Amino acid sequence: MARLLLPMPGNEAMANAIAARTGDAVGVLEHRRFPDNESYVRVLTDVKGREVELIATLANPDEKLVGLCLAADAARGAGAARVRLIAPYLPYLRQDARFNQGEALAAQTFASLVSSVFDGLITVDPHLHRIQRLGDVYAIPSAALTASDEIGAWIGKRVATPLIVGPDEESLQWAERVAAAAGAPYTTLRKTRLGDREVRLEAVGDLKQSLGRQPVLVDDIVSSGTTLSSAARFLRAAGFAKPHCVVVHAVFAEGALRRLEAETASVASTDTILHPTNEISVAGVLAAGMGGG
In the chain, count of helices (H) and strands (E)?
8, 15
Stretch of 54-62, 143-151, 221-229, 234-242 contacting ligand R5P, by CB under 6 A? 221-229
Cβ 222 to ligand R5P, closest distance in Å?
5
Instruction: Please answer whether residues 89 and 273 qualify as being in contact, where contact means their C-beta atoms are separated by less than 8 angstroms.
Output: yes
88 binds ligand R5P, rule: CB under 6 A: no
Cβ 88 to ligand R5P, closest distance in Å?
17
Interacting residue with ligand R5P among 51, 125, 150, 219 (CB under 6 A): 219
Q: Is 173 exposed, middle or buried (0-12, 13-18, 19+ CB in 10 A)?
A: middle
Cβ 235 to ligand R5P, closest distance in Å?
15
224 binds ligand R5P, rule: CB under 6 A: yes
120 binds ligand R5P, rule: CB under 6 A: no
Binding to ligand R5P in span 148-177, by CB under 6 A: 168, 170-171
142 binds ligand R5P, rule: CB under 6 A: no
Q: Among residues 98 and 190, whose Cβ is nearest to ligand R5P?
A: 190
Report helix, strand or coil for 200. strand
227 binds ligand R5P, rule: CB under 6 A: yes
Instruction: Please answer whether residues 166 and 178 qualify as being in contact, where contact means their C-beta atoms are separated by less than 8 angstroms.
Output: no
246 binds ligand R5P, rule: CB under 6 A: no
Scored b (16 or more CB within 10 A) or e, 244-264 reads: bbbbbbbbbeeebbebbeebb
Interacting residue with ligand R5P among 4, 65, 86, 221 (CB under 6 A): 221
226 binds ligand R5P, rule: CB under 6 A: yes
Phi, psi of 287 (to 5 degrees): -60, -45
Cβ 170 to ligand R5P, closest distance in Å?
5
* Alpha-carbon torsion angle 14, 16, 22, 23, nearest 10: 170
Report helix, strand or coil for 33. strand
Give the interface with ligand R5P as residue ranges (CB under 6 A).
127, 168, 170-171, 219-227
